[in-house]
Structure 1
């Protein structure tokens, strides 16, 4: 899979998420990094659609985490923006679902990487012309291999 993506519209971002979902399996951790408005929730919506989960995927900003079921694998969608450290992450008890679900964490860079031995970082950015970019950064040999094989 190409590691750099240009996403001109929200629909492009969601389509990229659906494509990315094809690589995902239970136990995967995906960390979304990027500024406000970079497309983190839109990407997660696409991942949810690609996994076939039921119901709308919306930002979990106020509830911190949502579990979406009904697809080929559950999706745990986390917004770590308001978390201040590992104690807050531990309080969410994400360890309980990481083996059976795909866990996507917005704003989780530097907070949640210890939840899985390997993970995928998606660095999102929003350019001045409102085009979003996504860069895939594999952490661990398993992710490196998956991205190379696609």
Structure 2
């Protein structure tokens, strides 16, 4: 499945929509550059699953569990950016079987975890956002200068292309009603 998501509100809504097809034991791997919308998507997913707590990037804690407020499975949100191997991910002791798990930056770290998962790839255009020095730690200009044309251009919403690829027997029948929009 491939969709064009026009802005952050639509990315959030897409996460809410995806929540309707997920159940305990489901795993999603989110891939995309900094600022692509991975956490915005996960925030919408959490709202759709009706979990407790604000869904924020778990960059510094690596994994954050959000219990359901309606008796459903918890949402486990993982940021695997700083993990070097599947073994380090396993050390987080995540209950994959009874949770819905979203792993940002997890491509290549989940071999053997489960036989079914969803790959969600979010692509950003090479537009105004590419000028954001805060997104590029190798850029010596720092966080950008307020008032420059670059900063003004960053306020414009840019569409993202989201590709969801299903793997394994859980997804053999497809993603249900989540066809292209």
Q: Same fold (TM over 0.5)?
A: yes
Partner of 1:131: 159
- Contact 1:6/1:131 (8 A) holds in 2: yes
Q: How many residues align?
A: 145
Q: Return 122-131 or 32-41, whichever deviates more.
A: 122-131
Q: Which runs of 4+ in 1 moved over 4 A?
A: none
Summarize the alignment of residues 1-150 of structure 1 with structure 2, pairs less than 5 Å apart: 3-71=1-69, 72-94=72-94, 97-129=95-127, 130-147=158-175, 149-150=176-177
Q: Return 82-91 or 22-31, whichever deviates more.
A: 82-91
Provide the rounded CA distance (Å) in 1 between the counterparts of 2:61 and 2:99. Answer: 18
Provide the rounded CA distance (Å) in 1 between the counterparts of 2:174 and 2:73. Answer: 18
**Please, what TM-score do these two structures have when normalized by structure 1?**
0.91
Structure 1 or 2: larger helix share? 1
Could you list the runs of 5+ residues in structure 2 that have no partner in the other structure? 128-157
Provide the rounded CA distance (Å) in 2 between the counterparts of 1:146 and 1:98. Answer: 21
Q: Return the index of the structure with the highest Cα Rg.
A: 2
**Please, what TM-score do these two structures have when normalized by structure 2?**
0.76
Structure 1 or 2: larger strand share? 1
Per-residue CA deviation, residues 79-110 of structure 1 (Å, 9 max, x unaligned), is 0000011221121112xx11111000000000
Q: Give how far 1:142 is off.
A: 2.3
Could you list the runs of 5+ residues in structure 1 that have no partner in the other structure? none
- Contact 2:166/2:174 (8 A) holds in 1: no
